[in-house]
Amino acid sequence: MITRSRKLALALTVVLAAAAACQAHQREQARAGHPAPPTARGFTLVASGDVLAHGSVIDRARSDAGGTGYDFRPMLAGIEPVVSRADLALCHMETVYGADGDYTGYPTFKSPPQMARALAATGYDGCSTASNHTLDDGADGIRRTLDAMDAAGLRHAGSARTAQEARTATVLRAGTAKVAHLAYTFDTNGFPLPPGEPWAVNLTEPARILADARAARKAGADVVVVSVHWGTEWQDEPDETQRTLARRLTAARTAGRPDIDLIVGTHAHIPQAYEKVNGTWVVYGMGDQIAGEMTNDAGVHDPRGNQSTVARFAFAPPARPGARWQVTRAEFVPQLYDTGTGRVVNLNRAIAGDAGLTAVRDRIREVVLSRGAAEAGLVMSD
């Protein structure tokens, strides 16, 4: 007769033997060049709005550099804690870069390339580069911009130097997840595509966006994020074009799985609503993260042009193979670019009883939540 203690000892022996065998198998796989796959874990993604270097912004960066060169890092220091703590951080570089002191603001922008180093130093991993200003300096502007981003270790999506680059999806790592970042713009302000380079900037064609998303998924992307430069400037509400495109993109599925996992929008100059559409989060407009004093379409100075949000989403691994990664927490951080000091301000951390900043924060919150985002789980954070 086997006693209870003897049974436990035998069971323990079996467990230990199995564990040892598993470890031996993993070591053997590693020696053969086939390491065991890592256990999937969740990640946090942040995205922020337009970086639009008007002349006053360029002047501030020169002043912050002591009059020699350009330093944009102090501008972004106020939001660095939010950006750097994320597993993956995406910005929107609306303008192209100039060179050798040839830098201009509105209406055709050429920004100092030191901006790329500042964005990387703040914690950004990549930026969308498709905007209505992408062709402000033709193919040369695109080349300089992407070269500077490469040098800074900053990934990019939305414009390209070669046809091969245009065909290759930008895929970034976020923990164990592979995240594809795709980017498109509605227009290029009437500037034609460079001769022989129809691929220089991605234009907003719904069928093309979905084809790119499916190709990225087929190539192994766990999560597909689409940046779209769209909407009506100075309009709080997303326009019909935005809403129609959002519905079409979020409704698209392959084998029951959504083709796109998140949409983040830019261009309107002001914060717009967040909304869950067909089960997928859509940020219609994050606003201008960096910009000089803005004049709206009525020719009036409009402080909304210096207000924006940072979107933050926590993604969890799928419950079963082939399912989508799920957003388990959705947040927004209200921010302001203070044109007087030339600094991005995290409003929830800066208010400290300031009635003016509180009113700005509350206005941003009202707009962001205007399409039912709170009921869908979106919360304001710092």
Largest CA distance in the chain: 95
As a whole number of angstroms, the distance between CA 47 and CA 49 comes to: 7
Q: From residue 121, how far is each of 115, 260, 271, 312 by CA, in Å?
A: 10, 29, 25, 19
- Give the pLDDT confidence score for residue 40 in this predicted structure: 82
Number of helical H runs and strand E runs in the chain: 11, 17
Would residue 322 count as lying in a domain? yes
As a whole number of angstroms, the distance between CA 238 and CA 254 comes to: 27
pTM of the complete model: 0.90
- Give the pLDDT confidence score for residue 1 in this predicted structure: 41
As a whole number of angstroms, the distance between CA 263 and CA 258 comes to: 12
- Give the pLDDT confidence score for residue 98 in this predicted structure: 98
Would residue 6 count as lying in a domain? no
On whether the CB atoms of residues 200 and 211 are closer than 8 A, the answer is: no
Angle, CA 146 vertex, CA 269 and CA 119 arms, to 5°: 55
Handedness of CA 294, 298, 303, 304 (dihedral sign): negative
- Give the pLDDT confidence score for residue 350 in this predicted structure: 87
pLDDT at 353 over 90: no
Per-residue tokens: 123: 């914690």
Half-sphere exposure of 167 (CA within 13 A, CB side): 4
Would residue 13 count as lying in a domain? no
On whether the CB atoms of residues 277 and 271 are closer than 8 A, the answer is: no
Would residue 15 count as lying in a domain? no
Number of domains in the chain: 1
Terminal C-alpha separation, the chain: 65
Domain that holds residue 147: 43-380
Other C-beta atoms closer than 10 Å to the C-beta of 131 total: 31
Would residue 32 count as lying in a domain? no
pLDDT at 369 over 70: yes
pLDDT at 299 over 60: yes
Per-residue tokens: 91: 């910005």
Hunting for tokens 């400290």 — which residue is that? 352
Segment 217-231 mean pLDDT: 98
Per-residue tokens: 278: 């067909």
**Residue 264: which of 10, 12, 86, 49 has the closest Cα?**
49
Q: For 27-45, how does the pLDDT look when each residue is reduced to its tens digit (9 = 90+)?
A: 444 444 444 345 789 999 9
pLDDT class for 22, splitting at 50, 70, 90? Answer: very low
343's enclosing H/E stretch is strand 343-346
Q: Taking phi first (over 0 means left), then psi (-120 to 50 degrees means alpha), and beta for anything else, what does residue 66 get?
A: left
As a whole number of angstroms, the distance between CA 20 and CA 26 comes to: 10
**Helices (DSSP H) in the chain: which residue ranges?**
4-31, 55-64, 73-76, 80-84, 114-122, 138-152, 163-167, 206-218, 240-251, 347-350, 355-368
Half-sphere exposure of 56 (CA within 13 A, CB side): 12
Q: For 167-223, how does the pLDDT look when each residue is reduced to its tens digit (9 = 90+)?
A: 999 999 999 999 999 999 999 999 999 999 999 999 999 999 999 999 999 999 999
Would residue 2 count as lying in a domain? no
The neighbouring-strand residues paired with 336 are: 307, 345
pLDDT at 88 over 60: yes
CATH code for position 342: 3.60.21.10
